[in-house]
Structure 1
Amino acid sequence: MGRALSKQPLHRLGVFLAFAFLLAACSPKLDWRTVQSSQEGYSALFPGKPEKIERRLPYQNQEIPQTLEAVKIEDDIYSVSTIHLSKDQIALAPKLLEQLQNNLLGRAGVNTETAISENTFYQTANRQRPPAKDYFLEFKSTGAVEQSMRVRWITRVTPNNGAWIYQLSVLHTAPARVDARKFFSEEAYSNFFDEFHPE
């Protein structure tokens, strides 16, 4: 029963993201800007001014802070979701990350082993280059629109022995399906992923 309850709030993440996307519903042209999110421990290059939403995520009888910054540019939504775990909650990190991944990958009918992916690196604020993995997802068709996504998860331990879990993603929604890996390799998307720098 505890496991079922722990999955329920993660299911509501989709509602949280959808709400954020509605707030960021304007579609300006690309206007790249570096956003410093010192509270969340990162800087990111967004193609417009993002909207920011904060909430507390109920998980295993605890309250976990979560922040989302997102901007909609025409058919694309660029977003960075941040979950902060204190040193007393850090043991939750592996399972929480696994459930976040399974929830999103499952919507595309894949898992971490079967999804189209690419090994890459990200650069920290002090110029280290840890490894990362990008996933290229094509969600099940609704008939009216096709959705695809590039997503990356990064976990970082904080100086006070807590942890950050970051989810970077670009969601593309349009009438025609695209080849996700080829489409999201274009410069406008690569810039967003390459210029994300956690502390």
Structure 2
Amino acid sequence: MFRGLSKAATLLVALAFLNACSPKLDWRTVQSPQERYTALFPGKPDKLDRRIPYLDQEFLQVLEAVKIDDDIYSVSTIQLPANQSASLSKLLYQLQANLIDRAKASGGDVTIEDTFYKTTDKQRLPTKDYFIDLKSNNKSQQLMRIRWINRVAPNGDHWIYQISVLHTNAAKENAKTFFSKEEYENFFSDFSPE
């Protein structure tokens, strides 16, 4: 009987050890040739698309996202045809302003930091990261890190990428400190558009 209990206890300890060693994040490279990028996701993302209205037209937005615990990692892509490139700056402004204005209206904070991204051919190009504290009743409710990248394809089409992580559980740190952790940095540093 003692031997049976000893085996059961050993098995439970081994299972607990294996469970503790199994990573919460299952990093995988996701290639999206239709949307012209490669990204490192912490799990298998779901993909969906929708039409978004803008002025008197609609654009296709493709979203790949995965939820891990309290975090949603996502890459959103909009293709702007070359003949509509005059709308680019207004569309980018609208995407950014909607989110930033919402954060500020809730009493939240927005910190903007210069950074770089790398393309699939290893070029390092400048961009900005936005660290957002979304608040409700003066308490931090959600934290977000977001980056917008615009790339021009050989045919003149513009590709707008929105790379973001949304943390949905109240955190004691500000967004910039919170998202400096390796699991978030990997997601941003390993996104590469063509």
Match of 2:161 in 1: 166
Output the TM-score relative to the length of structure 1: 0.80
* Structure ID, larger Rg: 2
1:121 aligns with 2:116: yes
Contact kept? 1:65, 1:84, Cα under 8 Å: yes
1:139 equivalent in alignment to 2:134? yes
Map of 2:59 onto structure 1: 64
- The CA distance in 1 between the partners of 2:155 and 2:84, in whole Å, is 12
Task: State the match for 1:191 in structure 2.
Answer: 186
- Partner SS state of residue 174, structure 1: coil
Match for residue 173 of structure 2 among 178, 186, 189: 178
User: What is the distance in 2 between the residues matched to 1:34 and 1:99?
Assistant: 30
User: Post-superposition shift, 1:145?
Assistant: 7.1
SS of 2:100 mapped into structure 1: helix
Equivalent residue number for residue 12 of structure 1: none
Give yes or no for the alignment of 1:43 onto 2:38. yes
Cα distance in 2 between the residues matched to 1:175 and 1:107: 17
The one-letter amino acid paired with 2:164 is: S
User: Matches of residues 17-28 of structure 1 in structure 2 within 5 Å?
Assistant: none
Kindly, what percent of the aligned residue pairs are identical?
A: 60
Larger strand fraction of residues: 2
* Cα drift, residue 177 of structure 1: 3.9
Residue 74 of structure 1 aligns with an amino acid whose one-letter code is D
Consecutive unaligned residues of structure 1, counting only runs of 5 or more, are: 1-27
Deviation string for 1:142-176 (max 9, x for gaps)?
58971010000000111111100110000001144
Cα distance between partner residues in 2 of 1:161 and 1:191:
30
Provide the residue aligned with 2:82 in structure 1. 87
Q: How big is each residue's C-alpha offset from its partner over 1:98-144, in whole Å with a ceiling of 9 and x where there is no partner? A: 0000001111108xxx8312111100011111101101100022589
State the AA in 2 paired with 1:37. S
Partner of 1:99: 94
Determine the C-alpha separation between the residues in 1 that align with 2:71 and 2:137.
Answer: 17
Q: Distance in 1 between matches of 2:78 and 2:95?
A: 11
- Residue in 1 that maps onto 2:143: 148
How far apart in 2 are the matches of 1:108 and 1:148? 10
- In the alignment, structure 2 segments of 5+ residues that lack a partner are 1-22
Are the counterparts in 2 of residues 146 and 177 from structure 1 also a CA contact under 8 Å?
no
Following TM superposition, by how much is the alpha carbon of 1:178 offset from its aligned partner in structure 2, in angstroms?
2.7
Instruction: Let me know the Cα RMSD of the aligned residues.
Output: 1.8
Select 2:70's aligned residue among 71, 75, 82.
Answer: 75
SS of structure 1 residue aligned to 2:155: coil
Aligned length: 169
Return the alpha-carbon distance in structure 1 between the equivalents of residues 116 and 26 of structure 2.
25
Asked whether the 8 Å contact 1:147–1:177 carries over to 2, the reply is no
Three-state SS of the structure 2 residue aligned to 1:35 is strand
User: 2:49 is matched with which residue: 29, 47, 54?
Assistant: 54
TM-score with structure 2 length normalisation?
0.82
- Check whether the contact 2:80–2:158 (CA below 8 A) recurs between aligned residues: yes
Structure 2: distance between partners of 1:107 and 1:177 = 21
